[in-house]
Amino acid sequence: MDWKRFDGVRHNVGPVHLDLVESYAQGRISRRQFVRRGAVIGLSVPMISAVIAACGDDDASSPTGGAGTPGTGSAPGTTPGTASGSTTAPGTGPATTLVGGTPGGIITVGAQIPGALDPIAMQDLGAYGLIAQCFEFLATLGDDGRIAPGLAESWEPNEDGSVWTFQLRQGVKWQDGSDFSSADVAATMDRLVAAANAGLAGVIEEGAVDATDPNVAVFNLAAPNGNFPALVSVFNAQTPITPAAFESGMTLDGAPNGTGPWKLDRFDAATGCTFVRNDAWWGGQVPLDGTEFQFFDDLGTMLTAMQGGSVDALIQFSVIGGDALLSSPDFKVLDIQTATHRQVWMRTDEGQFADKRVRQALALTFDRDQMLETLFRGRGNIGNDHPIAPFFPYFDESVPQRTKNIDMAKQLLTDAGIDGLSAALQIPNLQEIPELAQLIVAGAAEAGINLQIAQESTQTFYGSQWCPGEPADPPCSGAAELGIVDYGDRPTPDIYLNAALKTNGIWNSSQYSNPDLDAAFSEFQSSVDVEGQKAACKTMETILNDEVPVGLPFFYNFLSGHSTEIQGVRITGLGQMFLDKASRV
């Protein structure tokens, strides 16, 4: 330990940052966990590097070293050499220098058919990826795959994490020529509060943003929150900043605008869309002239298009059916360790799954190792029926792992007085979910549970089975009694807990309500120290593992990729592909 250097860091950070620095120095969290959380709370790259160097890390010169997923040869979500084209620290501004690349031309991307391009109300990865081409976030995706400065250049909390101050990037223009300012941030947040669709319930209230200074957005939170920057980042897809005059219900195709590198040129909801370069983008001129997104309603057709050269990149593909791409020398796989998962929701308020013993029984039929190996060739982590991924710094490993136990499942059903349970398992036609459903059906049958798969297009599934708009109060109270839904990656579990599992959460298709969980979640959010968050997570893990409002058998690596004839592609586990540095080789 270089104590002189370490003390220099300690004396130049606030209380929230200091707790993280000392947690790392004392060995309570790993280097990877330190870098991940440091990015969230606004610890600068030079400061992260200084702490790692002071603590004697062998690879102190690179705060992102070792963060890549095995087999990718690069940082998460990037191709080798992506960051090498940059002359600035990650997140400080996109590089436009090409490294062996050819300027001009377009890149064609294969994507799922999106729902409505409403930045506030969207619910699917197809829409997330298109919105992110034009509208930007306060915190965006860095070259290392983590949170980095976007429309905000930096952020910092007060002593207890109840006020977060974001220094906004100056000189940014909307595509209509008007100036970006804190008034846009304040108006966006007010719209999100009203819509209650971004996991911000209980975090901010209307009028939370002080926009007195046009270059500074001061968030006065409803309660202290140690993870707040993640909730207004690219990893919370519904929080892109829209103009102050924007209204709820507006869509990108109906009112094209944004501060990002691309302008929407053409949109057809069934076939695809095109974007052209925004020459007034604050990040400088991007290498490409434009991009095209082709829409597909099934994975097989999309894979065929990739193999046939009709598209240059895929937003996402599955191991099942994608073996040829995984082994192709002409395809660069982007393999990202994420908290992306599938939730098997079960209605807890009524019907056949209202008794928690029935829910426990179904969860005991899951062969989690088989699922992970069959569906993803082991690319992921086993889940324990709660959304706190094992690589989060506050995960508590002391909660016993649920494993397959058919005898115990049968006994629980008998204890609950159930004989011959039969139910429809509602699923979307998305990625590996149909195959996952088949594995669940087979396992359930061993315990005498008869499940029938009911499959729908992603265009209708979310509004008809998972979270219908009516009845509106409480949200999702019209959901089916059993189904599988997809959840994209987040750097913290706040969105999963707040939206899907908290009482009256906006995506609470299980209609689950537990005051003890709500209280533990509040403790988690208000804790600004790692130990406080970990204690709250242990409570939440224990409650959710016992009550099983959702079965969560695994977290899986997000697979994307592109032709080796292009470079500079970055992507999040939410399907937002960034092409501002992309070019043909």
How confident is the model over 303-337, as pLDDT tens digits? Answer: 999 999 999 999 999 998 898 999 999 999 999 99
pLDDT at 100: 60
Please say whether the beta carbons of 108 and 310 come within 8 A: yes
The domain locations on the chain are 3-54, 83-115+259-336+558-584, 134-231, 341-556
| pLDDT-above-90 percentage for the chain | 74
| pLDDT-above-70 percentage for the chain | 91
Q: Please, what sign has the CA dihedral across residues 520, 521, 527, 531? A: positive
Contacts of 407 (CB under 8 A, 6+ apart): none
Q: Which of 260, 288, 256 is nearest to 273 (CA)?
A: 256
Mean pLDDT of the chain: 89
What are 267-303's pLDDT values in tens digits? Answer: 999 999 999 999 999 999 999 999 999 999 888 899 9
pLDDT at 57: 62
pLDDT at 65: 33
pLDDT at 405: 98
CATH number for region 134-231: 3.90.76.10
How far apart, in Å, are the Cα atoms of 222 and each of 205, 227, 525? 7, 14, 11
Do 134-231 and 341-556 share a fold? no
What are 53-105's pLDDT values in tens digits? Answer: 888 764 433 333 333 332 333 333 333 333 222 222 222 233 334 456 889 99
Class (C level, CATH) for 83-115+259-336+558-584: alpha beta
Say which CATH superfamily domain 341-556 falls into: Dipeptide-binding Protein; Domain 3 (3.10.105.10)
pLDDT at 62: 37
Pairing state of beta strands 209-210 and 216-220?
A: antiparallel
Q: How far apart are CA 19 and CA 51, in angstroms?
A: 13
What's the mean pLDDT in 540-556? 98
**Whether pTM exceeds 0.85:** no
Of 93 and 489, the one with more pLDDT: 489
